[in-house]
């Protein structure tokens, strides 16, 4: 025979209901507490790009701070690369100060003067090499330009070198040839206005030879 459910003791039923309710409440409280702890313990997610940018800025600030500290403490605390950078900066500063000093005194730099004194000899050696040892000769635009600029200057290019230069000019082409002819024509015209000036007449004589060669 099936027992009637209504025959269960009311007190026992009440106790079971109470236990179920308490268990449900404890389970809910446990879940809430666990969720709260997860939220509190979970670290804030920062994008990689933000982290990288922040690290770069931090490194730059740190490096700048280290550089300033090293500059104060002295070169003995600098790394090899930092010493090289510092040396280059000091050289630039000293060079600027030297330029200012020379400018104030109305002097030219010794280096520029040395380069100016070497150029004529190098150009003449270049011409001599072309005439005497053609196998070792190599075309150099800088040397040719100097020769064309001073072709009518008998002090820079002596007569014996000028005769060799005329042979060299036989192969002259293009814009350099046209410009040289224009200069020669201008000198010939100038000589007509100063017939008594020996220097002008001497340059004009060279100019006539160049015009005859290149025309």
pLDDT at 168: 94
pLDDT at 89: 83
Cα separation, 72 vs 61, whole angstroms: 17
pLDDT at 158: 92
CA 19 from centre of chain: 83
Residue with token string 């809910």 = 28
Cα separation, 79 vs 206, whole angstroms: 63
pLDDT at 91: 83
pLDDT at 62: 62
Query: Which tokens belong to 157?
Result: 């290019």
Residue with token string 């036989």 = 170
What is the pLDDT tens value at each position of the chain, 215 positions in all?
444 444 445 554 444 444 444 444 555 555 545 555 554 444 445 445 444 555 666 665 665 555 544 444 445 566 777 777 888 888 888 888 888 787 777 654 455 444 557 889 999 999 999 999 999 999 999 999 999 999 999 999 999 999 999 999 998 989 999 999 999 999 999 888 888 888 889 999 999 999 999 98
Dihedral sign for Cα 142, 148, 151, 152, please.
negative
pLDDT at 136: 92
pLDDT at 95: 82
pLDDT at 88: 82
Consecutive H or E run containing 69: helix 48-73
């Amino acid at each position: 025979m099936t027992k009637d459910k209504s025959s269960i003791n009311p007190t026992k039923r009440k106790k079971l209901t109470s236990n179920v309710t308490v268990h449900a409440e404890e389970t809910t409280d446990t879940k809430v507490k666990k969720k709260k702890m997860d939220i509190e313990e979970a670290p804030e997610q920062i994008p990689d790009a933000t982290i990288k940018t922040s690290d770069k800025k931090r490194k730059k600030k740190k490096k700048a701070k280290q550089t300033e500290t090293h500059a104060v403490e002295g070169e003995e605390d600098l790394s090899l690369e930092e010493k090289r950078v510092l040396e280059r900066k000091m050289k630039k500063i000293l060079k600027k100060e030297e330029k200012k000093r020379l400018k104030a005194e109305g002097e030219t730099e010794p280096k520029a003067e040395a380069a100016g004194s070497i150029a004529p000899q190098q150009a003449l050696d270049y011409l001599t090499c072309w005439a005497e040892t053609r196998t070792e000769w190599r075309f150099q635009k800088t040397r040719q330009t100097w020769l064309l600029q001073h072709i009518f200057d008998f002090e820079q290019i002596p007569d014996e070198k000028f005769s060799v230069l005329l042979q060299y000019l036989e192969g002259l082409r293009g814009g350099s040839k046209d410009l040289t002819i224009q200069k020669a024509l201008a000198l010939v015209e100038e000589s007509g206005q100063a017939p008594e000036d020996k220097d002008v007449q001497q340059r004009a004589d060279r100019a006539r030879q160049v015009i005859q060669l290149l025309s």
